[in-house]
A and B are shown apart, each in its own frame.
Chain A
Amino acid sequence: MTQLESALHILAVDRFDEPAPADLADRALSRARQRSQRRGALAVIGAATVAALVAVGVTATAADQQRNRTSTPAASTPVFAQPRMNVLLIGTDAAPDRIGVRPDTIMLASINAKTGDSTLISFPRNLQGVPFPAGTPGAKAWPKGYTCAQDACLLNSIWFWAENNPGYRKYRNPGLTATTQAIEQISGLSVDETVVVNLRGLVDLVDAVGGVQVTVRERLPIGGNANPESPDYQRADGWIEKGTQRLNGSQALWYARSRWSTDDDDRMRRQQCLITALTDQVDARKLVAAYPKLAKALRGNLLTSIAVQDLGDWVDLAGRIKDAQIQRIGLVPTNPSHPDWVRLRAQVTEAVAGNPRASAASGTATDPGGQGWVSEGPC
């Protein structure tokens, strides 16, 4: 045995080997760049929450520049299949991969892939009779739209319904699939990517960027409950006072969530304001610095369909969105229990096409027909 052991020593000599390939250093360098880009890409995934799909893209770009000034710049021509990319942004009250998610926030960002001009469309969570595209399990189960007694079948309960429906069992995320299908049918737009973030993810994100400045137009309660039967009925744990101020993560959460002192529509407006504010204010360098912590915190609190290999393009696009116009639209049917779907859909099409009425982001340019959209009020 010891003989054998000593025999092995002759293998320690490398000089009978073929020489190493000449391009080994180049290959290692290019592999290292790939790895660092992938890390940047993971940064985007990690932080591409509802709010900062945009800001984080910029982060990754900044991180990449900081890491490697000699690296080749990302391709400047976007490779998106469509001239517009539609991203469904969902804010939920649970971990995105858990059963029983209730999406409080449902928005569709329709982004001009070339210019970055975007339309942010909010969908009221209390829409009733929501239609599904033909041929889906949803359409099969609800041929006349998602409706049931006592106003229990709202847009934001589709998620939970689908989790328990055999038709959706084959999908990896039944709730998200069904909700996406419903939004596609309502809006007439196809959803290209989805981002789901829960409350925890939002708080972490805002804290990671050092807070966000907003103008609070009405004193808003923290905590409490709108249900008269709840022991917490209208009992606030605290208040966010009126005025322009910097909110931390948990305050920002309540700014976007608080409802019982105002209403659903005002909440939709605030949610859009929060996203717009984050997009405008996020300091990419802060996000870079916060990234290691953030990535850890967001794991399990965020779910996105955006593929790693596409992230370079999204980073580029995010850079363009930051400099472009964001138009905020809330769909506000006069009668949420019987919305005029044909009309709603037409309004979405019009708004996305860059309707001049819609681009006036100030004031409340209500749809003259009384049913459709309003351009959201000032933030």
Chain B
Amino acid sequence: MNPHDEGAFRVFVDTRSRALLHTARLLTGDGHAAEDLVQESLARLIPRWGRVASPEAYVRVTMHRLQISRWRRRAVLTEDTTGELVEGTRTDDHSDAVQDRVVLTRALARLTARQRSVLVCRHIEDLDERETAERLGIRVGSVRSINRRALQRLLALNPELADFRRRPLDTKEVSL
């Protein structure tokens, strides 16, 4: 990588790594695994720098692909063990969005990697079923069924999520 490209690459990492790590955490359910995933995906971007239309899209696809090969390898395992137990039950005394996020994140971490991949594509990155299928290299029907089962499992693990009410967040970044 020449110094000019390297400079541009560093700017890209500085500005986007937080968002990438965020997605990686949701995908892996684990902070360290997330850093590894982002690092590896960034490393794979480097030789193609300047030749990919969107570095971010490239990294995101790579993250999913790497994560998929991980869940393919671990397909015999029914469930990841990285997630911590969800602490306590939610009552109406929670008012802040941070706690909602904590509960959801932990719940997500208790799903299988495959289920997390689908949920992240569908609901976090807002891809439609066809786009999700393409990105993950699975059939549209599988996207649909995995998504359904993942949501069911989220509910089974955390029954209180059934009456999850979206509280107004003090942010414009969330659009429904």
Cross-chain contact A29 with B1 (CB below 8 angstroms): yes
Cross-chain contact A24 with B151 (CB below 8 angstroms): no
In chain B, what residue has the closest Cβ to A24?
Answer: B17
Question: How big is the B interface, by class?
Answer: 35 or more
B46 within 8 A of A: yes
Cross-chain contact A4 with B19 (CB below 8 angstroms): no
Contact flags B9-23 to A (C-beta < 8 A → 1, else 0): 110011001111111
| Chain A residues closer than 8 Å to B171, beta-carbon distance | 13, 15
B113 within 8 A of A: no
In chain B, what residue has the closest Cβ to A39?
Answer: B47
Give A202 Cβ to nearest chain B Cβ, in Å: 31
Give B166 Cβ to nearest chain A Cβ, in Å: 6
Cross-chain contact A24 with B38 (CB below 8 angstroms): yes
Beyond A4-B155, A9-B175, A16-B98, 7 additional pairs, beta carbon < 8 A: A8-B119, A8-B124, A10-B101, A10-B174, A20-B17, A28-B45, A29-B46
In chain B, what residue has the closest Cβ to A13?
Answer: B173
Cross-chain contact B40 with A10 (CB below 8 angstroms): no
Given known contacts A24-B13, A28-B13, A14 and B104 CB-to-CB distance under 8 angstroms: no
B residues near A, CB below 8 A? 1-3, 6, 9-10, 13-14, 17-23, 25-26, 35, 38-40, 42-47, 97-98, 100-101, 104-105, 108, 119, 123-126, 151, 154-155, 161-166, 169, 171, 173-176
In chain A, what residue has the closest Cβ to B164?
Answer: A7
Which one of A11, A34, A35 lies within 8 Å of B104 (CB-CB)?
A11
Chain A residues bordering chain B, tally (CB within 8 A): 33
A residues near B, CB below 8 A? 1, 3-17, 19-21, 24-25, 27-29, 31-32, 34-36, 67-70
Cross-chain contact A7 with B173 (CB below 8 angstroms): no
| Chain A residues closer than 8 Å to B101, beta-carbon distance | 10-11, 13, 16
The 7 closest A-B pairs by CB, nearest first: A14-B22, A28-B42, A20-B17, A31-B43, A32-B46, A25-B13, A8-B123
| A14, B98: Cα distance in complex, Å | 11
Which one of A10, A14, A25 lies within 8 Å of B18 (CB-CB)?
A14
Cross-chain contact A25 with B14 (CB below 8 angstroms): yes
| Chain B residues closer than 8 Å to A4, beta-carbon distance | 151, 154-155, 161-162, 164
